[in-house]
Amino acid sequence: MTTSPACPACLLYFDDEAAPAQRLAQAATLPAWAIDRHRFPDGELKLRLPVDAAGRLPPRAVLLRSLHQPNEKLIELLLAARTARALGAEHLTLVAPYLAYMRQDMAFQPGEAVSQQVVGGFLAGLFDAVVTVDPHLHRIDTLAQAIAVPHALALSGAEPLADLIAQRRPGALLVGPDGESAQWIAQAAARHGFDHAVCTKVRHGDRDVAIELPPLDAQGRAVVLLDDMASTGRTLALAARLLWQAGAASVDVAVTHALFAGDALQALREAGVGEVWSTDCIPHPSNAVPMAGPLARALRQCGVSC
């Protein structure tokens, strides 16, 4: 580890996120220090945080952990955050470009865990600030309602993705897969004056959805399906097929979070989707939009800088 005595802050990261950590560290002008991780034969984890010659951390520390495949990572956050406090970090910021467990914000059946409240409370007990991108919020307006910390910043991938679309598909028609995407789609469309519309979706289960196209003229148009995340890809695939039937000249997909579980990408290809673009919030071959710059600016809003 290389210490930086003149900098009262550092960026902590795990080895599987070394590349995005270096991009964020460069954009935020922070020293980046790796957390050593060891797995015992029984599956338990041992972490060793990087410290200076005096065995201490700077007073402000940023922990980068994108929370896709989140279950074990939540234990890592618990161990790392509590240890960082003990080692001198007075202010801790979590940068989670993808924030898990936000979609379940109420109990739909008796006895269901409301994971947004549980995980939100857990993170609020560990960190002073949380920075994320396009959290999957439904019935609340702000991230601070889910994670009660002094700084809860939710960035959006809509405008950076719109910039990419303007370069790759000038004059495209933007289409959102459901009503929840309406405000997000409008934000992206306004940036470059794109025409836009939103589908109607009825979900019967995780993999059972039906959608209807809104009134639109897709004939001969380059269409980009835009959403905050792609998981199974079924909704986007259904929309792509309908758009081809409506006469679209091309159908591409742009998403903030490239989850793409199982055969999701294959389902999109089979539906006629051409290009698939995503931000780098979740590492994936489709990554085309870096978020290090916006994340670095958010860190400065949280008072983290050198």
pLDDT by residue (tens digit) across 120-159? 999 999 999 999 999 988 888 899 999 999 999 999 999 9
- State the average pLDDT for the chain: 93
Which element (helix H / strand E) includes 26?
helix 18-28
Residues 82 and 202 in one domain: no
Residues 35 and 70 occupy one common structural domain: yes
Q: Is residue 265 situated within a structural domain? A: yes
Whether residue 68 sits in one domain with residue 170? no
Same domain, 91 and 49: yes
Q: What is the pLDDT of residues 150-182, one digit of tens each?
A: 999 999 999 999 999 999 999 999 999 888 888
Q: Is 223 found in the same domain as 123?
A: no
**183 falls within a domain:** yes
146 plus 32 within the same structural domain: yes
Predicted confidence band at 3 (pLDDT cuts at 50, 70, 90)?
Answer: very low
Query: Domains in the chain: how many in total?
Result: 2
Active site residue: 169, 201, 221, 234, which one? 201
144 and 194 belong to one structural domain: no
- In this prediction, residue 210 carries a pLDDT of 81
Together in a domain, 183 and 115? no
Percent of the chain with pLDDT over 90: 82
Q: Is the pLDDT of residue 2 over 50?
A: no
pLDDT at 204: 65
Is 107 found in the same domain as 71?
A: yes
Residues 123 and 32 in one domain: yes
For 198, the domain range is: 158-289
Q: Which residues in 66-160 belong to E strands, given as ranges?
A: 91-96, 129-133, 151-155
78: in domain: yes
48 and 169 in a single domain? The answer is no
What is the per-residue pLDDT across 12-37, written as a single tens digit (0 to 9) for each?
Answer: 999 999 999 999 999 999 999 999 99
Please tell me the predicted confidence (pLDDT) of residue 1: 46
Does 237 fall in a domain? yes
| Per-position DSSP letters for 259-297, written without gaps between them | ---TTHHHHHHHTT---EEEETTS--TTEEE--HHHHHH
Residue that the structure tokens 């836009």 belong to: 196
- Report the CATH number at residue 83: 3.40.50.2020
Q: Let me know if residue 1 belongs to a domain.
A: no
Are 13 and 151 part of one and the same domain? yes
Per-residue pLDDT, 104: 86
306 within a domain of the structure (yes/no) = no
277 occurs within a structural domain: yes
Q: What is the side-by-side strand order in the sheet with 45-48? A: 45-48, 32-39, 9-14, 60-64, 91-96, 129-133, 151-155
* 191 lies in some domain: yes
Q: Is 201 a catalytic residue?
A: yes
The predicted pLDDT at position 134 comes to: 95
pLDDT tens digit sequence for 79-101: 999 999 999 999 999 999 999 99
* pTM to 2 decimal places: 0.92
